[in-house]
């Protein structure tokens, strides 16, 4: 008998939504000098989240573990074929097509973030700046495919995957679910990220008593 079972542990869900917020925020603040601190803060957050996810992929719960969604090319092709026939095979964890997007998003996030750090440290030069921008846009394209895939799978399986990524629940057999949500780790992640957002940059806000009219070159946009 199918019932609601826990699939996504809390750290995976906290990771996902913080990653989405960090990516969107970093993207929206990328153009202007004025928002550079926010951009860099969110970029570092994204790097920290991915570092966590790389570890969690080895020690995390069943459906968070990379082993559970490392598919062979043949399995990916078979899944895509089943999609095209409008009879997609159902996977409780990530499906084979979705898993490709997941690995691509992790890789592009890592690459974009690392290139950003090098550019920020002024050691990269034009090529790294170019790379940073190209990988960021490539990631945007994969995010669009990812969201389209989530919507398509949700419709075809008549199953709300977005809600699953929020509640952690899907319908399935009791023995397919995970036993522990690891809520404590999710709480720690949230606390660390919020503390980082509030504490960065280490220099803090501009002191109130500084006479800004004395500044000869105020921040210019771009
Ligand atoms: C991983 C998420 C990130 C995304 C999506 C992202 C995206 C972008 C994009 C699209 C630009 C180009 C803006 C333009 O047209 O000028 C840019 C510029 C920049 N980013 Fe990021 N970035 C990310 C992370 C980071 C990180 C972690 C750092 C530094 C620690 C960083 C530092 C910079 C700097 C310094 C620039 C300006 C480069 C220039 O002068 O053109 N970024 N970012
Ligand atoms: C904006 C940037 C986004 C990024 C970088 C991103 C990235 C990811 C990653 C890395 C995973 C794998 C989760 C894991 O196993 O750790 C994932 C899964 C998922 N994401 Fe996103 N995501 C983004 C936006 C969204 C949005 C806007 C939605 C909702 C419409 C969404 C819905 C989902 C769902 C439902 C899953 C689970 C897929 C499944 O059932 O196999 N994502 N996403």
Cα three-residue angle 102-104-107, rounded to 5 degrees = 110
Check if 33 has its Cβ closer than 6 Å to any atom of ligand 1: no
Q: How many CA atoms lie within 13 A of 131 on its CB side?
A: 17
CA of 178 to the centre of ligand 2 (A): 19
Q: Which residues are bridge partners to 171 per DSSP? A: 4
Structure letter (DSSP) for residue 89: P
Q: What is the pLDDT of residues 27-67, one digit of tens each?
A: 999 999 999 999 999 999 999 999 999 999 999 999 999 99
Mutation choice for ligand 2 from 6, 10, 139, 146, CB with most ligand atoms inside 8 A? 146
HEC per residue, 154-220: HHHCCCCHHHHHHHCEEEECHHHCCCCCCHHHHHHHHHHHHHHHHHCCCCCCCCCCCCHHHCCCCCC
Mutation choice for ligand 1 from 18, 30, 34, 141, CB with most ligand atoms inside 8 A? 30
CA of 17 to the centre of ligand 1 (A): 20
- Fold observed for domain 3-203: Fumarate Reductase Cytochrome B subunit (1.20.950)
Total H helices, total E strands in the chain: 7, 2
CA of 146 to the centre of ligand 2 (A): 7
Question: Domain residues of the chain, as ranges?
Answer: 3-203
The per-residue pLDDT for 123 is 87
Q: What is the pLDDT of residues 181-193, one digit of tens each?
A: 999 999 999 999 9
Residues sharing a CB contact under 8 Å with residue 87, sequence separation 6 or more, in sequence order: none
Cα separation of 167 and 140, whole Å? Answer: 25
Cα separation of 124 and 102, whole Å? Answer: 28
Q: What is the pLDDT of residues 68-116, one digit of tens each?
A: 999 999 999 999 999 889 888 999 999 999 999 999 999 999 999 999 9
Structure tokens at 206: 């501009």
């Amino acid at each position: 008998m199918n019932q609601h079972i826990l699939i996504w542990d809390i750290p995976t869900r906290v990771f996902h939504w913080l990653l989405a917020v960090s990516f969107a925020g970093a993207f929206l603040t990328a153009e202007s000098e004025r928002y550079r601190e926010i951009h860099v803060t969110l970029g570092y957050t994204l790097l920290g989240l991915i570092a966590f996810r790389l570890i969690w992929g080895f020690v995390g719960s069943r459906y968070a573990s990379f082993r559970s969604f490392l598919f062979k090319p043949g399995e990916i092709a078979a899944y895509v074929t089943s999609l095209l026939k409008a009879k997609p095979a159902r996977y409780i964890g990530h499906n084979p097509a979705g898993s490709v997007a997941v690995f691509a998003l992790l890789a592009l996030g890592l690459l974009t973030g690392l290139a950003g750090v090098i550019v920020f440290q002024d050691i990269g030069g034009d090529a790294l700046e170019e790379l940073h921008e190209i990988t960021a846009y490539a990631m945007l394209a994969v995010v669009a495919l990812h969201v389209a895939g989530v919507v398509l799978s949700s419709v075809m399986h008549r199953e709300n995957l977005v809600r699953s990524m929020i509640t952690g629940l899907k319908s399935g057999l009791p023995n397919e679910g995970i036993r522990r949500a690891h809520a404590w780790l999710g709480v720690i992640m949230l606390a660390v990220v919020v503390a980082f957002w509030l504490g960065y940059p280490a220099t803090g806000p501009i002191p109130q008593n500084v006479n800004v009219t004395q500044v000869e070159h105020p921040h210019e946009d771009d």
